[in-house]
Structure 1
Amino acid sequence: MSGIDGIVYLILIACLLPYVFAILAKLLGGFKPQDNKNPRQFLANTTGIAARAHAAQQNSFESLPLFIASILLAEYMVTSQYLIMLLGSTYIILRVLYGICYLANLDRLRSVIWLLSMACPIVLLVCVLKGVYY
């Protein structure tokens, strides 16, 4: 697999992850075909684990622009493929753990994992700014 293939997979996984949480929110909330007439209202009215899955979905969408921008800028600026893949993969793993913590209602651990996950694209952008190419 070439470097660009890995980067495309990172972006694809990051883009699909919110939908995993959306599906979980609907399944755990008892979504029915008639709820599809107004799915946003259905999700807004969920409680418990379904509401937490919905919140994980929303936060996953919110973090996407920073992640995608950092990955693409790093690739454009010819930053080390190893560094891009390391920080990108770490971000994905941490985002999955973040979602699990959200579902399990582990608020403090979730916040720590959120911070670490957001540090990955920020560190990557700093590396781009500093010209880290190794």
Structure 2
Amino acid sequence: MSGIDGIIYLILIACLLPYVFMAIAKLSGGFKIADNQNPREFLAKTTGLAARANAVQQNSFESLPLFIAAILMAEYMVVSQYLIMMLGMAYIILRIIYGICYLANLATLRSIIWTLSMACPIILLLMIVRMM
């Protein structure tokens, strides 16, 4: 992966990741076809693993705007493709590890991984500011 196609794949993977955790939440929570009438209500009432998977889904959606903005701005400002790809892949890998930590109920490690994942787009944006 390199160039604009790599950027597109990074964004696509980051956008699809919350749905993986949504599926885990529904499967582990015993989601049934009848629950599709109001899936948010179903997920809000879950506990344990299903509730944690739902929290990962929500947090994954919450972090997307910062990630997408940073990646697109870095591309627009012609930041090194290598740096964009490395920080973008690090973000995705860290978000996956974050999700695993959340599912495993490892709160302290989860918070550390969350911080590292959020540092990736923030570093890109700070690099852009330095270029200006």
Please state which band the TM-score falls in when normalised by the shorter chain. over 0.9
Q: Distance in 2 between matches of 1:43 and 1:116?
A: 27
Unmatched 5+ stretches in structure 1: none
1:23-49 deviation per Cα after TM superposition (whole angstroms, max 9, x unaligned): 100000000000000100000000000
Partner of residue 59, structure 2:
59
Q: Distance in 2 between matches of 1:86 and 1:6?
A: 11
The TM-score normalised by the length of structure 1 is 0.97
Matches within 5 A, 1:77-88: 77-88=77-88
> How many residues are paired up?
132
RMSD after superposition: 1.0
Partner of residue 126, structure 1:
126
Q: Distance in 1 between matches of 2:2 and 2:99?
A: 29
Q: Distance in 1 between matches of 2:51 and 2:12?
A: 25
Matches within 5 A, 1:16-95: 16-95=16-95
Partner of residue 15, structure 2:
15
Contact 2:74/2:84, CA 8 A, preserved across alignment: yes
Amino acid at match of 1:29: G
Amino acid at match of 1:105: N
Task: Using the aligned pairs only, state the percent identity.
Answer: 75
The TM-score normalised by the length of structure 2 is 0.98
Shift of 1:11: 0.1
Structure 1 segments of 4+ aligned residues over 3 angstroms from their partners: none
1:1-39 deviation per Cα after TM superposition (whole angstroms, max 9, x unaligned): 441000000000000000000010000000000000010
1:69-94 deviation per Cα after TM superposition (whole angstroms, max 9, x unaligned): 00000000000000000000000000
Partner of residue 107, structure 2:
107
Unmatched 5+ stretches in structure 2: none
